[in-house]
Amino acid sequence: MNPGEKGWLKEYLEFRQHLLNDLTSEARIAHHPEQSLYRVIQPSGLMYGQPVGLDAPEFTAWDEKDRMKILLAESLINSALLFHNKAIQSPEELSRVILKTLESVGNFYNNIFPELATPSKSFFGKRKSPLEVAEKILDKRIAHTSAFDTNFWIQLFHNSLLFLDVFIYGQWIHTNADRIVSDFFKYEREELRFSVVKVIACAAHANSTIEYEERRLLEFFLQSTDLSLERKREAKQIFDQGIVMEEINLPTNNSWILKKYFLEIAILTIWADKRVDELETAFLKELCNYLGFAEEDLEHSLLAIEGFVLEHWDKLNYLQDKQDFNQVSEQFVQRMAKITGSHKHRLLKEVQESKELMELLRKARAQELQPEEKARMQEMLVEVLRIIPSFVIISLPQKFLTLPILMKILPQDFFAQVA
């Protein structure tokens, strides 16, 4: 599959068929579609403008724009499948649903992003398939983003806005696309982008000092928003003077995943200058309260961001200059250990119910395990952690959670009690 060549979308769908089918099964049992969408999208890097989390054989050979294009296509399709309200019974039915999804993707961008408008007929009058229209529009959408850069912060604020595409599309697919509806979503597109400017400004003023890195963030962001000149001037004024939290526009439908996005953009803004002081921590707690979240939601977002960064540390070159791996690792392990400690008995029960895991643990106490046995034990222990409610929504960093790290995360006397 080559995302730079015509026909890439068809090849992608064939390649991801099994994954998409599994997703429909997950959707049937998910108690909260937005949380399921977050669990799929957050580890991919789309919310942070970092196309590093897609599992595809040729992924590393593609350039940044091709990676993000595939990621956007997958996220839009995932959104449609997770909000699909009927169980999908066969591969044929899945194909029909995906075809309908691609048609709605084309209609969505043609109506809400007129700058990307793509006709349904060729120059010679031949009708294009929904797949062909969607492929062309996605090509244009990624070409329309700002140039990709190795700078984590530039990519974050140039390309994380693609998440808003996915969010608005998730609302669009439940409507009848008349002119009034289209005008509403065009308005929402601009308002939500401006709300992100307000979140950045509010977070940057959290400690009453605008750092150089934070000011640069606003510049990066404004280059990619397509706001009018008047709105850009307003944004700069907000950033210079600050803004009270109550002036950040919240979504009218009180969307959980959109508020999560606002919170995590604020966290990353504060991360920009590496230091997180007491005033900034207090601000994040206040923002959580304003968004209707509990403090544990802040912990979950911090875990999600730290886990994402640790899992993909080798690919986030610029971030390495701004964050210390050991510091991020230590913070992450401490947060994880606190949660596992409060669920110790539940974890013990889960481990004791697995004969294979119990045998590996007993063997590990007596002798050195083979590499494949260590890998299997690591995999099974990570699965055990997923029974904790906090880790149902958060994607755990599989590569980072090596056996030595797991030993630090699980309660100190945990292994003595299960063996």
Query: What DSSP state is assigned to residue 126?
Result: P
For 167, the 3-state DSSP assignment is helix
Q: How far is CA 129 from CA 11, 76, 96, 170, in A?
A: 15, 18, 13, 22
Average pLDDT over every residue of 188-200: 85
Pick the residue with more confidence: 340 or 86?
A: 340
Site of tokens 């949660």: 339
pLDDT above 90 for 301: yes
pLDDT above 70 for 18: no
Helix/strand/coil (H/E/C) assignment for every residue in 214-258:
HHHHHHHHHHHCCCCHHHHHHHHHHHHHCCCHHHCCCCCCCCHHH
State how far the Cα of 145 lies from the Cα of 56, in Å rounded to an integer. Answer: 23
Answer whether 148's CB lies under 8 Å from 32's CB. Answer: no
- Which tokens sit at 72? 């956007």
Report the pLDDT value the prediction gives residue 28, as an integer from 0 to 100. Answer: 45
Q: Which of 36-50, 240-254, 267-281 has the highest mean pLDDT?
A: 36-50
Site of tokens 């209609």: 107
Span 207-230, pLDDT tens digits: 777 666 666 666 766 666 667 788
| Strand stretches in 279-407, DSSP E | none
Report the pLDDT value the prediction gives residue 331, as an integer from 0 to 100. Answer: 87
Q: Residue 173's CB: how many other CB atoms inside 10 A?
A: 18
- The distance in angstroms from the start CA to the end CA of the chain is 47
CB contact burial 245-254 (16+ within 10 A = b; e otherwise): eeebeebeee
To the nearest whole percent, how much of the chain has pLDDT over 90? 18
pLDDT above 50 for 58: yes
pLDDT above 90 for 264: yes
Pick the residue with more confidence: 212 or 82?
A: 82
Report the pLDDT value the prediction gives residue 333, as an integer from 0 to 100. Answer: 92
Q: What is the dihedral of CA 9, 10, 14, 19, to 10 degrees?
A: 30
Span 160-190, pLDDT tens digits: 888 999 999 988 887 776 677 788 888 888 8
Report the pLDDT value the prediction gives residue 285, as an integer from 0 to 100. Answer: 93
Span 377-397, pLDDT tens digits: 999 999 999 999 888 888 888
Report the pLDDT value the prediction gives residue 337, as an integer from 0 to 100. Answer: 92
Type of residue numbered 355: K
- What is the number of residues in the chain? 419
| Strand stretches in 93-148, DSSP E | none
Report the pLDDT value the prediction gives residue 27, as an integer from 0 to 100. Answer: 46
**Exposure on the CB side of residue 238, measured as CA atoms within 13 A:** 25
CB contact burial 353-388 (16+ within 10 A = b; e otherwise): ebeebeebbeebeeeebeeeeeeebbebbbebbeeb
Q: Which of 3-7, 247-251, 369-373 has the highest mean pLDDT?
A: 369-373
Report the pLDDT value the prediction gives residue 185, as an integer from 0 to 100. Answer: 86
Mean pLDDT lowest among 46-50, 247-251, 296-300, 385-389 = 247-251
Q: Is 127 exposed, middle or buried (0-12, 13-18, 19+ CB in 10 A)?
A: exposed
Mean pLDDT lowest among 8-17, 290-299, 301-310 = 8-17
- Which tokens sit at 325? 């791996």
Average pLDDT over every residue of 186-207: 84
Phi-psi region at 163: left, alpha or beta (left = phi > 0; alpha = psi -120 to 50): alpha
Answer whether 233's CB lies under 8 Å from 268's CB. Answer: no
Report the pLDDT value the prediction gives residue 100, as an integer from 0 to 100. Answer: 87
Mean pLDDT lowest among 52-56, 135-139, 288-292, 406-410 = 52-56
State the chain's mean pLDDT as an integer: 81
Answer whether 142's CB lies under 8 Å from 65's CB. Answer: yes
Closest CA to 407 of 356, 362, 340, 317: 340
Q: Is 415 exposed, middle or buried (0-12, 13-18, 19+ CB in 10 A)?
A: middle
Q: How far is CA 206 from CA 103, 245, 267, 282, 379, in A?
A: 44, 10, 11, 8, 40
Average pLDDT over every residue of 45-64: 77
Q: Which of 23-27, 240-244, 340-344 has the highest mean pLDDT?
A: 340-344
Span 106-162, pLDDT tens digits: 999 998 988 888 888 777 778 888 888 999 999 999 887 755 555 666 667 667 888
Q: Which of 31-45, 145-159, 296-310 has the highest mean pLDDT?
A: 296-310
Report the pLDDT value the prediction gives residue 29, as an integer from 0 to 100. Answer: 44
Pick the residue with more confidence: 54 or 161?
A: 161
Query: What DSSP state is assigned to residue 4?
Result: T
Phi-psi region at 111: left, alpha or beta (left = phi > 0; alpha = psi -120 to 50): alpha
Pick the residue with more confidence: 115 or 32?
A: 115
**Helix-helix angle 162-172:91-112, to 10 degrees:** 110
- Per-residue pLDDT band for 195 (boundaries 50, 70, 90) equals confident
Report the pLDDT value the prediction gives residue 261, as an integer from 0 to 100. Answer: 94
pTM for the model: 0.86
